[in-house]
A and B are shown apart, each in its own frame.
Chain A
Amino acid sequence: MSLTSDELMAAFVDEAVEHLSSIENDLLTIEKAGNAVDQSLVNKVFRAAHSIKGGAGFVGLANIKELSHKMETILGLIRSGNLFPNSEIITVLLMASESLKQLVGNVAESDAMDISDSLKALDSIPHEPPSLSEKTIPTAQTLIFQKPPAVQIPEQARSSLPEFTPEPFPVSDIYADMQIPQEIVLKARKEGKQVYLLRVDPAQDGLFRGKSTVDIIDELKIYGTVLSCRSGENPGDTSDGTFRAEAAVVQIVFACILNPEDMALLLEIDKTHLTLIDDATHSVHLQESPVIQPPVLVPPPGSIAFADQSHGDADKHAYVEIVPAADLRSPMPVVSTSHPGILFPSKSEKNHPADGSPTSIRVNVRILDALMDLASELVLSRNQLLKSITMYDHRQTENIGKRVDHITSDLQRVIMLTRMQPVGNLFNKFPLVVRNMARDLGKEIAFEIEGADVELDRSLLEAMSDPLTHLIRNAVGHGIETADVRKNLGKPGVGKIMVRALNEAGQVVIEVMDDGAGIEPNRVAVSAASRGFVTEEQIRVMSEKDRLNLIFLPGFSTSAQISELSGRGVGMDVVKTNLDALGGLVDIDSAPGRGTCIRIRLPLTLAIIPSQIVSAGNERFAIPQINLEELLRIPAAKVKDRVERVGSAEVVRLRGKLLPLVRVTDILGIQRTYTDLKTRQRVVDRRVAVADRRSRKTSLIADDFEIEHNPDPLVAIDSRPSATASPKASDQSPAFRAGPDRRYRAVSALNIAVVSTGQIKYGLVVDAFHDAEEIVVKPLGRHLKTCRGYAGATIMGDGKVALILDVNDLSEMAGLFSMDGTLRAGEIAREASPVVRTEIDPLNLLIFRNATDEQFAMPMNQVLRIERIRQCDIQSLGGVRTIQYRSGNLRVFSIDEIARVKPLADCEHLLVIVFMIAGRELGVLATGPVDSVITDAGIDGDALKQPGIMGSMVLNGNTTLLVDVLEIVRTLYPDWFTDTAGAKRSLSVNATLLVVDDSRFFRTQITSFIGSEGYEVIDAEDGEAAWKILQSSDRHISMVVTDIEMPRLNGIELTERIRSDARFSGLPVIALTTLADDRAMERAKQAGVNEYQIKLDKERLARSIGALMSERIKHAPESE
């Protein structure tokens, strides 16, 4: 042990771990195969156990050696067909490999660990036939293969095994040639090793085919100690011509713990090439050798003698003697140097800290090459840069700067690749977990893995091990029912668990699915309520999903009740906590009786993450993009309308929902600041809450001010006077307040980062937004470990440090969960209020302008993003206007190209509203201000209707034209739509659609749109009318497209009626709404709606009609 260098030990552990990782799965496969044992697989496992044994013996780990040896014995029996690998035996082997893993995991203390259980279990397996089991136990006496008597002469050996050795090995000659001090042999034997004489012919022998002597020795060193070596022609072999023609035969005296049979198998050489040296032979030959052959005592010139340092004490005596073959093709001359240490550098001098984390990783050579290339390119660029800087060549410097930028990002990407590992490495341990648990619980489970080659940062992979194991254990333990129960439920007896990894939008998604009992949301909710996490009232207004998500509440699973739940709610909070630490999100989906799916979303790496930089107080902070949903800026004038107070909490209305607000400054206890527009400096903000609002008068002043000074045209100006509120009592003097007080100006705009923890969505109020950047995550020192709210820190471009905010921590610190519940309660209560709201469909629109005095609107859901460009950025090529967008070109157009409206305003800065249509991105040129409004204003579909304009409405006192994006694009690029239109026509033969909508505008819009797609359309003004048409109509209705909110009979009720009537069982129903609202969508789905589409998004509606139609036509012949 003391002779072993740390490096060798590390190499052994690395290798052993690798072997062990495959052993388990291979054993499971062997078990599954049963009678049809795959011999190669058994061999593989055998060899794995074997290598571990060899390595352990070499580095002196007794326990590991013993255990792996016993495993190997059993495996040997299986291999030879003397033992059938039944479930019991495999279980014992698995158990042994498990304890082997533990031993290897802590080599330093492995010898002190108790492995008697595993040993006993292994011993209990009947070893039969006895002769064989005996053979595998290495006792020198019984196992010496072809032990030559001391006086045996070459002729005898030759005659005994002529078929294996065309050129029999003259044993005594070799002993004579090679100088092996006796003490070395004795010492090796004392360490439990056998000493062999190995004769390798690189031209023939399997493992060593074509290898140089040095490589052979290197390889052998893995298994044992090379005591002496001789390469070159045997002086006595002049009789055989073949030897001279081939590469030199290498003769090696080698000590290792393996028995001869295993050696032969391991090295893939013929057994006859292997001679065991016992004390007797050794001494006799040394004595007798001079008689038979004069020993070569002095190596010829060019030979090298050096000490093998890995052998410690024996170094003084052990040396490898390499005599280059007469033939110059021998690789040896390369190392004809007086410093043999170069060839076998001393390893024992290096001391590596033996901590638990792996010290080395395997990297694909391709990746290393790529890194080298990039490094050389970087050097090149550096040289160029230095030159151009000294030459004051600004242009050149700029160019090279760009290059360096590219190289750096490439370098970063490639270096990240070296950290990536396939998730299979982690997944592969689960079959065993599932098998063992299923066995214990008497369940039948089929386990599947998908996407094992998806790659993830190794640190993430390691950290995912526990949470994933937990989820899978849950699935086995609580998810899957026993076979009997399953059969009673009409499910297949064998349960299914699946782990799947996939790449999605630059993140990795890992799903754990089962088809077990599922989780009953109500039981989770009741349990949560009984434990005081939520109130009954909150539960009442929660969606099913919210209820399910309650199992992620910290401390939830400690309850005794929950562990009795059928389902998988146990320990989920722990899983979530683990994932939070990794920056991952977890989501649960469960259908009681049908199964559960848990989705985990992880960043690819923890080291570099895209983040939004914000500032609060005088400091900058980073918010990881994975948590960020959107950025929201509420202009000062609208703060009054959008921000409300519920108790002491602030909330904002966002697209009809209430979003709790958390101020970073309050949570972290730092002073708020804002930018004074006059001085451009950060100033401390003294207001207590946003809800401390300004008077009507000052509000108007604020608006004017904002128009003048606001540098950001994206911020809309709401010209509506805000509701009257008395000026807040403050320390400001009345005179000061009457003037254009800075407190009432645009500075009061609220910057909100809408963040999500996976369970809770809330608005993080910051003082200002900065850029989005890729940041390198650095850990915080130990003094800050207890400090909550941060996920680490990063160094900004200017060298200063910014903290990374932990969105989860912040929400907990703000006590957000309960507030969310309360707010939802309030929200639902409002909805249920007697005011009849059903007939009002709020629309979410994006308002913009083309000419400065004409206001337009388009549905918000079609908008991908808004870019700010300069007019000179627009290129006009072949009549098509484009701009550079991301890495490509984006076609842009202005509304006045189609609609008869005033031309686009001629200003330097323009906006491009990017949207997707017909699978392509397009941009509408516009001018500010833009704003998002939710309105229930009625749309007039007649008065201002014209090509490209659907209709008009009055928004904020301005007449606003509603742009028909689809129509414009169709007119501009008709060829984009030919394919889809053709396909539809062929499908729509005789198809009649029923369109139900109470709004005349939408009814005509949709009717004419669907009509233009080639379908027959009947319309109805509400559900009741539609129902009548369905029942009475002699025409066959192929599909119903219905609005949700309607008087008399709404869309949901209509769908329910349709579904409950056998006549219309197969009738597709598409529900339309103006707002994509999760809850409404859920309700609609429950009612039996096939598709849920947003009104005005004609393209998607057309696609979904087309899809449902083609499906129906496919099934039609069967049903009719």
Chain B
Amino acid sequence: MNHSEKSGSEMELATFYLGDACCGINILTIQEINRLSDITPVPLAPDYVKGIMNLRGQIITVIDVGTRLGMTCGTDTGQRRNIIVRHENESIGLVVDRIEDVICIRTEDIEKPPANVRDIQERYFDGVLKTDKRLVSVLNLAEVLSAQESKH
């Protein structure tokens, strides 16, 4: 969805950490951010599915974004959060290691992912963004949440 917005409009990016990497997603896709509550693991599910949980009477799938992106996860420092996003009429939880702040960016500032991003990861990223402090990888939510298995 971010592809189409590269015309130069502003957008707000909610940023979070997966291990050491700072990632961001369009804040408009976020429904709410919760602490990690009881997650029921689903045996035989794809490895990136952390489990399912009860979100006010609705059962939602919780995705471990780190595993999905093939990243090494940081240790749980009690700061893990569950970002509930609304995508294709379904609420899905994304487990991230730590929530950072919301930054306001211009979409034209998003650059192509660096060449050394590995193949698997490439499709999950729309690009990277340089801020004063750090590099933010902008996630392509549609790819991250696609139910297709990642091609290796």
Contacts and interface: CB of A to CB of B under 8 A. Distances in A.
A81 B128 CA distance: 78
A801 B40 contact: yes
Contacts of B88: 782
Contacts of B34: none
B43 A668 contact: yes
Contacts of B52: 780-781, 784, 793, 801, 803
Interface stretch (B14-22, B59-67, B103-111): B59-67
Contact of A787 (B40, B45, B58, B60): B45
Contacts of A989: none
A793 B39 CA distance: 13
B46 A783 contact: yes
B54 A783 contact: no
Contacts of A786: 46, 147
Contacts of B85: none
A799 B145 CA distance: 25
B49 interface: yes
A783 B147 contact: yes
B143 interface: no
A788 interface: yes
B54 A795 contact: yes
Interface string B10-41: 00000000000000000000000000001011
A788 B46 CA distance: 11
B84 interface: no
A783 B61 contact: yes
Contacts of B63: 783
Given A782-B147, A801-B54, A787 B44 contact: yes
Interface string B39-82: 01111111001001110011111010000000000000000000
B100 interface: no
Contacts of B92: 781, 783
B90 to A, nearest CB: 6
A778 interface: yes
Interface string B109-144: 000000000000000000000000000000000000
A787 B45 CA distance: 6
Contacts of A619: 40-41
Contacts of A780: 42, 52, 59, 61
A1067 interface: no
A800 B147 contact: no
A485 interface: no
A790 B40 contact: no
Interface in A682-741: none
A802 interface: yes
B49 A783 contact: yes
A801 B38 contact: yes
Contact of A795 (B57, B90, B147): B57
A712 B40 CA distance: 29
Nearest to A800: B38
B58 A799 contact: no
A785 B147 contact: yes
B110 to A, nearest CB: 27
B69 to A, nearest CB: 15
Nearest to A801: B40
Contacts of A779: 59
Contacts of A781: 52, 59-61, 90, 92
A292 interface: no
B95 to A, nearest CB: 13
A366 B90 CA distance: 35
Nearest to A796: B54
A435 to B, nearest CB: 41
Contacts of B40: 619, 793, 800-803
Contacts of B46: 783, 786-787
Contact of B54 (A668, A670, A800): A800
Contacts of B59: 778-781, 793, 795, 801
Contact of B43 (A670, A778, A801): A670
A294 interface: no
A670 B42 CA distance: 10
Given A795-B59, A800-B40, A784 B49 contact: yes
A622 to B, nearest CB: 12
A103 to B, nearest CB: 28
A784 B53 contact: no
Contacts of A790: 42
A787 B54 CA distance: 19
Contacts of A617: 43
A788 B44 contact: yes
A783 B45 contact: yes
Interface in B79-102: 88, 90, 92
A789 B45 CA distance: 10
Interface string A757-790: 0000000000000000000001111111111111
A787 B38 contact: no
Contacts of A789: 43-44
A149 interface: no
A779 B59 CA distance: 8
Q: Which of B41, B63, B90 has the most CB of A within 10 A?
A: B41
Contacts of A783: 45-46, 49, 61, 63, 92, 145, 147
A669 interface: yes
Task: Give the residue among B44, B58, B60 with the most A Cβ atoms within 10 A.
Answer: B44
Nearest to B63: A783
A795 B37 CA distance: 14
Interface string A788-816: 11100101000111110000000000000
A789 B44 CA distance: 9
Nearest to B45: A787
B40 to A, nearest CB: 4
B91 to A, nearest CB: 8
Interface in A268-297: none
B25 to A, nearest CB: 17
A669 B44 contact: yes
Contacts of A787: 42, 44-46
Nearest to A785: B147
Contacts of A800: 38, 40, 54
A784 B61 contact: yes
B33 to A, nearest CB: 19
Nearest to A792: B59
B53 A801 contact: yes
Nearest to B40: A801
A778 B44 contact: no
Nearest to A803: B42
Contacts of A799: 38, 54
A778 B88 CA distance: 18
Nearest to B92: A781
B45 A778 contact: no
Residue with the highest number of chain B CB atoms closer than 10 Å, among A617, A778, A781: A781
Nearest to A668: B43
Contacts of B42: 780, 784, 787, 790, 803
Given A784-B49, A799-B54, A801-B52, A669 B61 contact: no
Nearest to A616: B43
Contacts of A803: 40, 42, 52
Contacts of B60: 781
B58 A778 contact: yes
A981 B60 CA distance: 63
A1114 B113 CA distance: 93
22 contacts: A617-B43, A670-B43, A778-B59, A780-B42, A780-B52, A780-B59, A780-B61, A781-B61, A781-B90, A783-B45, A783-B61, A783-B63, A784-B42, A784-B49, A784-B52, A786-B147, A787-B42, A789-B43, A793-B52, A793-B59, A800-B38, A801-B59
Given A669-B43, A781-B60, A784-B42, 20 more contacts: A669-B44, A778-B58, A778-B59, A780-B42, A780-B52, A780-B59, A781-B59, A782-B147, A783-B45, A783-B63, A783-B145, A784-B61, A787-B44, A787-B45, A788-B44, A789-B43, A795-B57, A800-B54, A803-B42, A803-B52
The 6 closest A-B pairs by CB, nearest first: A781-B61, A668-B43, A801-B40, A778-B59, A782-B147, A800-B38
